[in-house]
Amino acid sequence: MKIVILDGYALNPGDLSWEGFETMGDLIVYDRTGPEERAERIGGAEIVLTNKTPLDAGVLGACSSIKYIGVLATGYNVVDTAAAEARGIAVTNVPGYSTPSVAQTVFALLLEICLHPGAHSEAVRAGRWIASRDYCFWDYPLLELAGKTFGILGLGSIGKAAARIARAFGMEVIAHSRSQTAEGGEYAAYVSLEELFAQSDVISLHCPAFPETGGIINRDTIARMKDGVILINTARGSLIKEQDLTDALNTGKVYAAGLDVISEEPMRPGNPLLGAKNCIFTPHIAWASKESRKRLLDAAVENLKGFLQGRPVNLVNSVPAPPGSCKSRE
C-alpha cells in the first residue's frame, strides 16, 4: 500500500517521527507540493495525507486509486469532501489536538500587548537600563488584566481553555456562542453578541469560519465595542475585515490587536494591518508547539489505523471503510 504525505514539513520539520505511518505501507513524504505537482506525486497511492495542499475534484478525478484522505489539521476545507464522497473516498480530520497550545498563545499575545516584554528586553540589550538615571523605565503603558472583562466569541474547547486562564488572571469572563450548555456556563457567563461587544475589555475570537461569521469584526461591530478594546484572533483570519480593524487601530478605537491568523496566508505585502498601530503578529503558529504537533501526528496515525481495520474515526464525510480495501503491514 502506497501512502503519500503531500506537505509534511509544517507538521514535522524533523523533530518528530513518521514511523507510525511507515509501519502501514510504503511511505513517501514531500515537504511541500505545488498545485501542478499534486496528481503526479499522488500517482497510484491509496492513502493521501495533506495539511494545506488542496485536493479538489480535478485532482481526485485524476487519481482514481485514492481510497482515503487524512487531513493533518482540524479544518478540512482543503478537500472537496462532496467529490470525495461521490468517489467513495473517506476523509478524516484531527479535532481537538491544539487546544492547550492555542489557549497559551492567546495569552502570549495578550501579555505582550499589556507588558511588551520583548520590546523592553531589546531596550535593555541596547543599553537603555545601563544608561538610565532611574532604577526602572518603561516605554509603553503597562496594563493589568485583573478585574478586566474577557469576552470570548465561540465557547468551544479552546474558548473554555482560554476562559480558565483568564479566570486565573482574575478576569471576569463572558461568552457568546451558537450553543449554550451547562458545562459552558461553568467557564463563562453567556451573553448576547451585543453585550459581548459592549462589555468586553478584551475580545478573543474562537468561532469557526462559517458564512455567518465571515467579517464578524467589522466597522459596525467595532463601533459597538468599548473604546480601547483589545482584540485577539487565534481562530480564522476571515473573521475580521482587515481594513476596518486597521482604521480602528490607527484611530485608537481598538487599543491593540494580537493576531495569529490573517485572511490570506502567507501574508501579502499589501495587507493593511502591516501599517496599523499597536498590532502584533505571530505567523499562524498557535497550533505548532511540539507537544501539539505530536498529538496531531499520533491522532492521524490512529485515524488511518481505524480506517484500515474497518472502524473509521473522525470521518468528515459519510464514506465507511470498505472491508479489506487496503492492507496494512501490521
Give the Cα separation of 180 and 183 in Å (integer).
8
106/253 same-domain check: yes
Give the Cα separation of 111 and 289 in Å (integer).
18
302 included as an active-site residue: no
Give the Cα separation of 239 and 236 in Å (integer).
6
- What CATH number should be reported for the domain holding residue 131? 3.40.50.720
Catalytic residue among 38, 116, 236, 295: 236
Is 147 inside a domain boundary? Answer: yes
Predicted pLDDT of residue 319? 80
Give the Cα separation of 50 and 71 in Å (integer).
5
251/171 same-domain check: yes
195/296 same-domain check: no
Predicted pLDDT of residue 322? 60
Is 43 inside a domain boundary? Answer: yes
236 included as an active-site residue: yes
Residue with cell 485514492: 66
Taking a C-beta distance cutoff of 8 angstroms, is the pair 157, 184 a contact? no
pLDDT tens, per residue, the chain with 330 residues: 999 999 999 999 999 999 999 999 999 999 999 999 999 999 999 999 999 999 999 999 999 999 999 999 999 999 999 999 999 999 999 999 999 999 999 999 999 999 999 999 999 999 999 999 999 999 999 999 999 999 999 999 999 999 999 999 999 999 999 999 999 999 999 999 999 999 999 999 999 888 899 999 999 999 999 999 999 999 999 999 999 999 999 999 999 999 999 999 999 999 999 999 999 999 999 999 999 999 999 999 999 999 999 999 999 998 865 655 555 554
Is 170 inside a domain boundary? Answer: yes
Taking a C-beta distance cutoff of 8 angstroms, is the pair 187, 160 a contact? yes
107/83 same-domain check: no
Is 323 inside a domain boundary? Answer: no
Catalytic residue among 19, 194, 265, 291: 265
Is 60 inside a domain boundary? Answer: yes
Taking a C-beta distance cutoff of 8 angstroms, is the pair 90, 306 a contact? no
Taking a C-beta distance cutoff of 8 angstroms, is the pair 4, 41 a contact? yes
Predicted pLDDT of residue 329? 55
Cα distances (Å, whole numbers) of residue 209 to 133, 214, 239, 261, 316: 51, 6, 7, 12, 16
Give, to the nearest 10 degrees, the angle between helix 157-168 and helix 99-115. 40
214/260 same-domain check: yes
Is 329 inside a domain boundary? Answer: no
Predicted pLDDT of residue 183? 95
> Sign of the C-alpha dihedral, residues 198, 202, 206, 211?
positive
Question: Sheet of 254-259: strands edge to edge?
Answer: 189-190, 172-176, 149-153, 202-205, 229-233, 254-259, 279-281
Catalytic residue among 38, 206, 284, 293: 284
193/158 same-domain check: yes
Q: DSSP H helical segments within the chain, as ranges? A: 19-22, 38-42, 57-62, 81-86, 99-115, 117-125, 157-168, 182-185, 193-199, 219-223, 242-251, 290-308
169/304 same-domain check: no
Domain that holds residue 232: 99-281
128 included as an active-site residue: no
Count of the separate structural domains present in the chain: 2
